[in-house]
Structure 1
Amino acid sequence: MAALMRATDWSKTTLGPVEGWPEALKVAIRILLTSRFDMWLGWGDEVAFLYNDAYRPTLGSKHPASLAKPTRELWAEIWPDIEPLIRQVYEQGEATWSEALLLLLERNGYAEETYHTFSYSPVFDDAGTVGGLLCAVVEETDRVITGRRLESLRLLATELTTAETPPEVFAAAHAALASNPQDAPFSVTWLFDGDTAQIIGRTGLEGPHPALPETMRLDAEARWPLRNGGVVSLAGVSALPTGPWKKPPEHAAILPLEGQGADDARGAILVGLNPHLLPDDDYLGYLGLLAGQIGSGLHSAESHHAARRRAESLAEAARLRAEAAEALRELNVKLASEVVARTGERDRLWSLAEDLLARADYDGNLLAVNPAWTKLLGWSEQKLLTDPYADIIHPENVDTVLAALQEMGRTGEPTRFENRILSSEGVWTPVGWTVSPEPGGVHFIAVGRDLTEDKAREQELLGVQEALRQSQKMEAVGQLTGGIAHDFNNLLAGIAGNLELLELRLGQGRTVGLDRYITSAQGAARRAAALTQRLLAFSRRQTLDPRAVDANALVGGMEDLIRRTVGPSIEVEVVGAGGLWLTRVDPSQLENALLNLAINARDAMSGNGRLTIETANKWLDDRAAKERELPPGQYISLCVTDTGTGMTPDVIAQAFDPFFTTKPLGQGTGLGLSMIHGFVRQSGGQVRIYSEIGDGTTMCLYLPRFIGELDSPDDAHHPLNTSEGHGETVLVIDDEAPVRALIVEVLEEAGYSVIEAIDGATGLEVLRSQRRIDLLITDVGLPGGLNGRQVADAARVTRPDLKVLFITGYAENAAVGNGLLAPGMEVITKPFAVSAMGNKVRDMLDR
């Protein structure tokens, strides 16, 4: 498969050229190709299909045309079965597990019955979202089909042991056939009488069928060759039952019921064949075993009935007593040979089966075991039949096994369980058991399957999944380390250098011009905070403060700033739509996004060109919404268009990837567009890029329409007035002494009474006291086992109206309830301006 993939022209597929593939896809493909486990990988919105050599047999004739084909087209016949599982992985990022799932695969020219145990695991792309899925699969078709056939043969053998009359034999036969409707959707049984055949029973059919007469002659012209048997076509026969399938059988097998030989047929069975399996040697051999046991049972029952009649006649005729004795002796010899013949088939199954077969009682004794026990476990048959079976069951499993057997004995229903069995070499072997009670409630039949290989496959699958997660984690760590360290070191150098110069000048007594060092340090600190916000936006974990926003007013308010930012050589045009709908977003984040787009547009135009900012109302129908990956509905669009160089398809595909940049080294972190993408997606919208080389670029933000009113102007912040406090009491909890001291000093200067606490436990003691507390200010990340949100929740048990202001350097969901603050709670993000915090405190206390 590696050679086939290298020879493929990927530019003609939905995945595009290899050079544009995300690193996560390349890592997943390397894992796929180097594994000897059956695996396939789906990638992208079309779930493009990639697979390894071990998976090729599952494809059948679909290989090699299946490579890179959309999964919906490749497996169209089972798409309704697997689509919900794929959607769960893509939409929720959760793995799935399916055990022995029935799938009708059209891989060999017909819809074939197959069973598969598999898992779908999410594969995250370079942006941290689900880019595809990885499937590890084990085909269990042979195990499932063989298991149900063995079960029906076992049922027939059990029932025939007590059948003494022909009606009892046929009842046992019909029960066995009805227990496996997959391989026998319907059946009809005829009993021969000379040259005539009479129906005596049926399964799957509720009554007579016009194509299957109740009585028919056994001649060469008959529609059904009951004497000779074979596979016949059912073409032209309508209204046939389907059994568990959605379509009726297309062929049927006719099986003569032979006793001592081929010339001794006493009847025949017509069995409708599974429409999803070929009538191969295994299938017809299974039906032959069924017919052989039924024929032997019928012959034995008839012989037994004849013997009884002869015995009664001899008893009535004393003069024939001597003849009767000889005839009875000969009859007994004949009956003994027939019993041997009838049980021969069952004994062969018992001896050749690879599964563990046993007959046992509820008192803890094995009564019979097949040779597989010695082959798998090493114990002799004598030891197994002598010692209690609990002696070789793992001590941790004994109680579970005995409880399952006790429940089966009480209900009479079969049971399944797993346990570990001790081998003669001291090794514990995992075994899966299917146990069925025998009539009478004294004995039961157990069938055990060695699970060693299954467990090993499960462990290998877990190992593959863990390797994939670890490779993605290490890749992300490498990107973060290389992308952010340079910018933060520059910013820290600016802060530290200006503070050192300020210290030097103060030590020399030179106070003139100190404000420029303070301004420079504050600017570097603000830029560091902005970089942190970009990272939080990229990871979708920043706290948003959504409000009703008029995008026209927001753009108008920023127009002068944008003009000064892009420079006089670039013409700026603002086109605001009349009657523009409102949207609900964080206005500061939208301002940052707009400014970032304007700066990118300026850089793309090399200092000259035209920048257009345009707003519009958009009503997206199903088709338009699907193209933008949004739900249908009403949106506003905010588009920034430049006349620059444009972008290639490869660049567009990577534009929102974190740390991707086309700017020279040192001129960008590659987080700008990823920050915008994260903010817009978190606000329920979408970002789209429209660009061609030489024709410029348009970046459009689509944001949901908000039905409501603009926020009151009273909500706007005003400059800090240090006399605004009216003696209210504020509790401040923060483990960082410098931050806590700053907050306390600002509040006391403003006229508030302040209580300090260094951790959550100390603060909670104050909150549980009788002291007056008007406002709680707490850091989110506190030491000692109680975070800020937990402290606030505990405090509101006894102080339900307590107002809470959270302070955080990042926005964990635990702090704000997945982005939504409870009434009376607000949040302010570090680093913050002193005036902003003072205004926030006053606003909250005034409400």
Structure 2
Amino acid sequence: MNVEQPSGDWLPARISSVARDIAARDWSDSPLGPLAGWPADLRAILATMLACPTPMYLAWGPQLISFYNDAYVPILGYRADGAVGRPFRDLWASIWDDILPLVEGCLRGESQQVVDMRLDLSRRGLPEESYWTFTYSPAFDARGRIAGLLCVTGETTDRILAERARAEADERLDLAMSSGNSVGTWDWDVIANRVTADSRFARLYGVDPALAVQGAAIEDFFGGIHPDDRHRVEAEIAEALRSVGTFASEYRLLRQDGSVSWVSAQGRCIPGPDGRCARLPGVSYDITPLKEAELQLRAAKEEREFVLDQIARQRMQTDPQEILRASSEALGKRLGVNRVGFYRLTGPQSICHQASWTDGTLPPLEGHQATDYYGSHADRERRAGRSLVFGDSRVDADGSLLPYAREGVLAGICVPLLTDGKWAAGIYLHQAAVRVWTGSEIALATEIVQQTWLAIDRAEALQSLNRRVEEQEAALAHREIVLREEFERREAAERQLRQLQKMEAVGQLTGGIAHDFNNMLAIVISGLNLTQRQLARGNADVGPFIEGALDGANRAAALTQRLLAFSRQQPLEPAVVDANALLAGLSDMLSRSLGETVVLETGLQPALWTTRVDPNQLENAIINLAVNARDAMPDGGQVALETANIRRDPHAARDLGAEPGAYVRIRVRDTGSGMTPEVLAKAFDPFFTTKPTGRGTGLGLSQVYGFIRQSGGHVSIRSQVGQGTSVDLYLPRCLDQENQASGDQADDVPTGRPDQVILVVEDEERVRAFTVAALRDLGYTVLEAASGSAALDILARRDDIALLFTDVVMPQMTGPQLIEQARRIRGDLKVVFTSGYTGESSETDERIRAGGNFLAKPFSFDQLARKIGAMLA
């Protein structure tokens, strides 16, 4: 979770890197919560601690959450990364058993102080002995309760180790003096400047023993001190004389054979009558073995720190070649060699040189090389897993190292690396001069090659993993594109299937439609024939016959509009619908279409509420359900269309996954074969059908379900085998009565004026003649054109045309194309489109119908008058 943290203005971030870490961290998931909510007492303690130069550590809260200042970071060592905010116990798990009693005592209110406590810490990845003096003090909150502990600490490791070394040296001195081994004594008469010493002391300093017994000046003994140490020793003796105190020093002696030895000298000033130093007796003993051991220990420690530093650096690097290059350079500079490099075996007899380092004395080794390039002896040793070490390749007894000498390599270390017991890689250290290699140098090279190849394996594994991740990401991206394309293809296929289903339903309804349409035409033809006969006889009472013909024509027009809406592919806008009127309009067509063996019954509730829904989609849904009901009754049966006003309380609505409220219910019920529970559970699933292949798409009920849900309603279905099926469509009640289809008011027909000029463009001559006559009858001045090109000619000649009334589908130039060119002549020209069927794409058809400037054919005189009047108002 990424939570934006407020600025910790109270933190001394300017002077403390730890404070900056605290401010940058997201504390939302920690026991302390977001930074802004920390208590004032915790803030005050933290602000003081973070600004203090003394190492300090704070453990706060029941979990003892860890905080510390910058001075404490070196104590944490490798733990410092991510240590802020960790529990005290987790952070110092390695010494928890040692400090737990102190922590518990402090949390009881007892301040704890420990002097020179030994703790074996792992600060650089390895346990090491350390000593600490520290105090644990209770940390109190604002109400005086103990909320944690505050540790103020200091490391005393160097002092303890120094005191231990001094004690050990004193023990050795006592032992030496008791055994008389390499111990010399002296007594310096400071006033007379005469040093008398025993023979052992004289031999240590290179002075004639006989002269030492008689007494010699102090300068004679200073001559044996190493030039680099003499000034310091003289200063230490001068300080002892000035303070009349003790003298203790360790320094080197340069012997006559050129060798160097170490001595430890200790003496004590004896004051004279005047209080100043009169005599300085003391003892010196040889500590050369001890110093050599200390030097070896120091060298081993430095080598260990070097190895640990290399491991840490290698962990931070992810490029294998950079790991090899950096390791080669570090090892080469550490051991002072001329060339260091790594290689891999690329075949039984071939190696490939990897990254390397050279100080310029020897050229770098690059590319491929035969495994026996430096001789068969070197090849055999490395294949056997043995390191090859030589100090002078020119003096090799059997000449097996001469290939190195010819290449200018006089000394070298070659360490092979084995994988599964076979030589796989290695490291070489080459020197252009003779050299005697020490065991520690050989061991260091061996350890570095092992650690480096571990780092290489890790880096190469990480690179391989990253490549796989990148390949998988690329594959996923490609798969996403494929899936998207497949999804788009499926959507297109589903749209086609839905349209095919509509067409299938139209085909199934064709018989009923033809029957109804023929009845309507019969009424029109009969009425006109009777009118013609009556007029021929001179009888003007033809009103009933004309009204009958108009009624038949209007019913035929309504039927064609319903069929066009049913087949249209684009979604239609919802309107306020009277479901009773809609079902009544469908029942005649359905009663014919369902067949003679199926009885259609209606049960319509009076005073039915209205609902806002797409009427054409609702008709499609009811037709779909009626056809499904017919198919479930191959031997005939009953289909009922019923309506009711329903109120859903919260409990009933919750069971149906709907909102509580008022609904209009439309029920389609049949007495067919019914469905099993298994089929019923999948009834609304897309593409699920029980019909034979080729008889259904499986999209019918799923489309009904989706349409009703999109309209804010819900669907329920009940069915039992042998007892039929009942599908209930629940649509929300609509309280807005203004847009009802039944609410059209019979306004007076608007008329026009002669100064309002209308250009009618229609390729069908009879339709054009009727339209022109009707508009002139309304009082408009009317121009006419049979094509788009003729209309453009008229528009070019006249600028008084107020409105263009054009058919959509015309040869050579369609209505939309005509308007596009006409508005280049008259940008403000008003337009009304008319068509019985546009044949355009859904996008073009939707644009034509937008804005209310479309009048569907066939249209009545009143509909034409209202549309034109509204456009010119």
Bigger RCO (CA 8 Å, 6+ sep): 1
TM-score, normalised by the number of residues in structure 1:
0.43
Pick the structure with greater CA Rg: 2
